[in-house]
Structure 1
Amino acid sequence: MSKKLVIKVTAGADAPERCSQAFTVAAVAVASGVEVSLWLTGESSWFALPGRAAEFELPHAAPLPDLLESILAAGRVTLCTQCAARRGIEQQDTVEGVRIAGAQVFVSEIMADGVQALVY
């Protein structure tokens, strides 16, 4: 059975520890060979834009740009359709490799066999 982890992160700079935990868990899972799908929703949506991860600061935490880069290199990053629309973010605005998709795709990912889902 293949291992897949779907992580939905709702927190951004408004809740930095929760945000950092989500990105850290996703990056560690990718490095461990787990198939990872990270969903950016709510305030974390801003990290789909170039340069925004570099603005994030949390003492004693891995740099968010490095975590995002590792997740994009071996996993999948998705920006919520509605969250993007509410913030005026369009596909051409996002970091290369980030897709925009909605609830139907999220549900299909979390309902697949062998999937574990986490929400931060």
Structure 2
Amino acid sequence: MTRELVVKVTCGVDAPERANQGFTVAATAAASGVPVSLWLTGEAAWLAVPGRAAELSLPLATPLADLLASVLELGTVTVCGQCAARREIGEADVLPGVRIAGAPVFVEEALRDGAQALVY
């Protein structure tokens, strides 16, 4: 049985170090062959909009846009449905491959046998 990792990032450019840490963990796990689901909630929802991840800059850290691209290639990226709606972000506004889904999908993924959920 392969363990799965569900990472929820709740912040964006308002807390760059915490946001970058969540993306770094998700991308590292995905590159290691771990099935990863990255959830973007709250201000992190903006990071799924083209060009917005590049706005987060953190010295000595891998650029967030690169980390996001890695997770998109190797795992799944989801924006919280309510968070997207509050920010008027729709399916047409996010990067290709990003989905918008609600709490039932998050709960399903987080409670799956063998899953580990982390929140940043």
Distance 1:43 1:61 in 2: 20
* Offset at residue 28 of structure 1 (A): 0.3
2:5 corresponding residue in structure 1: 5
What is the number of residues matched between the two proteins? 120
Aligned to 1:30: 30
Instruction: Please say if residues 13 and 55 of structure 2, whose CA atoms lie closer than 8 Å, have aligned partners that are also in contact.
Output: no
1:118 is aligned to 118
What stretches of structure 1 move > 6 A for 4+ residues in a row? Answer: none
What is the CA–CA distance in structure 1 between the aligned matches of 2:89 and 2:43, rounded to whole Å?
A: 12
Return the TM-score normalized by structure 2.
0.99
1:30-69 paired onto structure 2 within 5 Å: 30-69=30-69
- What amino acid maps onto 2:51 in structure 1? G
| Counterpart code for 1:64 | L
Unmatched 5+ stretches in structure 1: none
Provide structure 2 residue ranges, at least 5 long, that are not aligned to the other structure.
none
Q: Over the residues paired in the alignment, what is the CA RMSD in angstroms?
A: 0.5
TM-score normalised by L of structure 1: 0.99
